Each structure stands twice: as C-alpha cells, then as structure tokens.
Amino acid sequence: MDERIVVTGMGAVTAVGGTAEETWDSLVSGRSGVKGISIFDPSRLSVRFAAEVSDWKPDEYMPRKDARRMDRYSQFAIVASREAAANAGFDGGFDGSDRVGVMIGTGIGGIATTQEQFRILDSRGPDRVSPFAVPMMLPNMASGQVSIALQARGPNFAPMSACSSAADALGLAAQTIERREAD
C-alpha cells in the first residue's frame, strides 16, 4: 500500500485532562496528575499516590443505566473515542458502517468490576453478584462498547500486551487498513 495512514482525531480521559487538548496543555506546561489516591482506601499499600482520573461523573457523558453496566475503563474509552471521532469530523458516529473498526489496547480490562464483584461474592454470596459482572470485566468490552456507541460495525479487537497494548492496537489498526478490511 503506497498511501499513508494518518491519525485524524484524538481523544483522551486522563489524570491531567478530560480531553486530548486539556491533556496536551497540561503535559506541555509540566502539570502533574499524580496525587493522593482517592477512589479507594490505599492505607494498606506502601504507595498511596497515583495518576488517577478523579471526580469522574459518567452520568455527564452517558445515560446512568448504560454507565452502571460498564466498568470505568469502558466509560473512559467511550468518552475518548467520541472525542476522537468528533475531531475527525464524525461527530454523530459512523452510521453502522462495516468499514469502520475499533481497536483498543488494554493491560487488564475491568479490574474495578472484578474487585467489587469478588467482594460481593465473598461477603454476600453468589446470588448478589451482578449479571453484568463478566461482560463488565472482560478486556475486550471497551472496544465492544465503543463500537456500539459509535455505530462502528467493522473489525473489532482488543490486544492485551501489557504496556505496549496501545501501540499494538495502533499497529493492528494500520494493518487492517493496509489489508483494506477497514477505512
């Protein structure tokens, strides 16, 4: 393939910004998102600081019913992907195109859901575990939820390769375009 593949839109939900632009501005100005952990009790840990997305209110971005059925990492993926699509000129999604795919790399998937549901299983029994627990914790659910939210019905993958997962997702997306399996 002689044509170049380019990134036409970016989105981000990070500890230093709720959008790609805010994140970039924070990074170039040297602002750190590292602070004391607030989303869980870190008192038993030797390290009590992290770069976490605090004050997250998913209801501002999606219906509460939808947010309750997905882990935070999927919520972040949807918000960042909507921003990327809008920046690329596809503000309303992709109208069910099978030429648009979603590749999202992850290191672990829905760890918050996994932890919460195991606590419920241990303290309250199996009947109290959410019927959405497994779909919420699966590593590929972020790409699946983004596909649904943006109506992208093309190839859908979630490479899991630790710290290089995002780079692998970009490479996989480029290969998919090169093979003309998606645009």
Asked if the 59-178 domain carries CATH number 3.50.50.60, the reply is no
Helix (H, G, I), strand (E, B) or coil at 35: strand
Write out pLDDT tens, residues 60-106: 999 999 999 999 999 999 999 999 999 999 988 899 999 999 999 99
Give the pLDDT confidence score for residue 1 in this predicted structure: 62
Locate the DSSP E strands across the chain: 35-36, 49-50, 102-103, 156-157
Enter the tokens of residue 39. Answer: 């989303």
Model-level pTM?
Answer: 0.93
Write out pLDDT tens, residues 4-40: 999 999 999 999 999 999 999 999 999 999 999 999 9
Q: Which of 49, 13, 163, 166 is nearest to 103 (CA)?
A: 166
Helix (H, G, I), strand (E, B) or coil at 38: coil
Sign for the pseudo-dihedral over CA of 144, 106, 71, 146: negative
Write out pLDDT tens, residues 25-35: 999 999 999 99
Mean pLDDT calculated for residue range 145-165: 96
Angle at 180 between CA 174 and CA 183, to 5 degrees: 70
Enter the tokens of residue 3. Answer: 């044509």
Burial of 168 (0-12, 13-18, 19+ CB in 10 A): middle
